[in-house]
Amino acid sequence: MKHNGIAFKNGLKDGIPIGLGYLAVSFTFGIMAAGAGLSPWQSVLMSFTNLTSAGQFAALGIIQAGSSYMEMAVTQFIINLRYCLMSCSLSQKLEEQTPFHHRLFVGYGVTDEIFGVSVCKPGKLNPFYSYGLISVAVPGWTLGTLLGAVSGSLLPGRVLSALNVALYGMFLAVIIPPARKSKVLAGVILVSMACSLLITFIPVLNTISSGFKIILLTILIAGAAAYFFPVRDSEEVPNE
């Protein structure tokens, strides 16, 4: 129990930057949700149950277009399919005897940033560490949505534009520190960025949805890195 409490506190501490970043970004979503005709309560409920900026912004467009539930479901499935890969990866960091309900709750909170922080944690992943991250990130995302839905129209356009790039700055803060410690990881990140830029301009490939692009690049680049630069169990550092 004491070990779980320490892991939870560490998660809370590491989740503060994520929560602050989510607070800024979801503010913009709240504004757009209100503009799409959603009430503050509906906007907050969407943020609390989805935790995916790309999926939520896409959902607003579908709602405004009056499309069917089936189109909404298919769109969300494609956009958020990458979280299946992230969840599979995190499941390998959990102890084999980790109960199903812990895996289920950890899966609920998988986002790009939470995944990035969790996967960089040395050793096995304690579910309570993930709970600490989620306990800060989810309130930050939902509170920002509420504030944007209620009062976002009061802010000038320049401030809203600045809030839009906060998420990207936060993600850079997640990947840069571990990349500075590992040349292999730094190389994988640079190759991923280059391939992501390249695939945007290649005919046919640039028509693939963002969700499938991420999955394709993840499988190819991560698979190649795992084959050429395998990480042995002895190289892992025990969890603190």
Q: Closest by alpha carbon to 134, among 74, 202, 48, 197?
A: 48
What DSSP state is assigned to residue 37? T
pLDDT at 234: 46
Residue 232 has a pLDDT of: 64
Q: Give the angle 181-184-188 at the CA atoms, nearest 5°.
A: 115
Are 136 and 18 in contact by the 8 Å Cβ rule? The answer is yes
pLDDT (0 to 100) of residue 220: 86
Task: Render each residue's pLDDT in the chain as its tens digit; 240 residues.
Answer: 568 889 999 999 999 988 888 887 888 888 888 878 888 999 999 999 888 877 888 788 788 878 788 878 877 887 787 888 888 888 888 888 889 999 999 988 898 889 888 888 888 889 999 999 999 999 999 999 999 888 766 666 666 666 666 656 666 766 787 788 888 888 988 998 898 888 888 888 778 766 567 667 877 887 888 888 876 654 444 444
Query: Is the C-alpha dihedral spanning 51, 54, 57, 61 positive or negative?
Result: negative
191 sits in the region (left: phi over 0; alpha: psi -120 to 50; else beta) called: alpha
User: What ranges in the chain are assigned the alpha helix state H?
Assistant: 2-35, 40-50, 53-65, 69-79, 82-93, 100-108, 112-119, 127-151, 157-164, 166-181, 183-201, 210-217, 223-228
Give the pLDDT score at 233: 54
Half-sphere exposure at residue 190, Cβ-oriented, CA atoms within 13 angstroms: 8
pTM over 0.75: no
Which two tokens mark 205? 């490939």
Q: Which residues 6+ apart lie within 8 Å of 91 measured at CB?
A: 103
| Neighbour-count burial of 37, counting CB atoms closer than 10 A to its CB (0-12 exposed, 13-18 middle, 19+ buried) | exposed
Q: What is the pLDDT of residue 240?
A: 41
Please tell me the predicted confidence (pLDDT) of residue 13.
Answer: 92
Residues contacting residue 95 through CB under 8 Å, at least 6 positions apart:
124
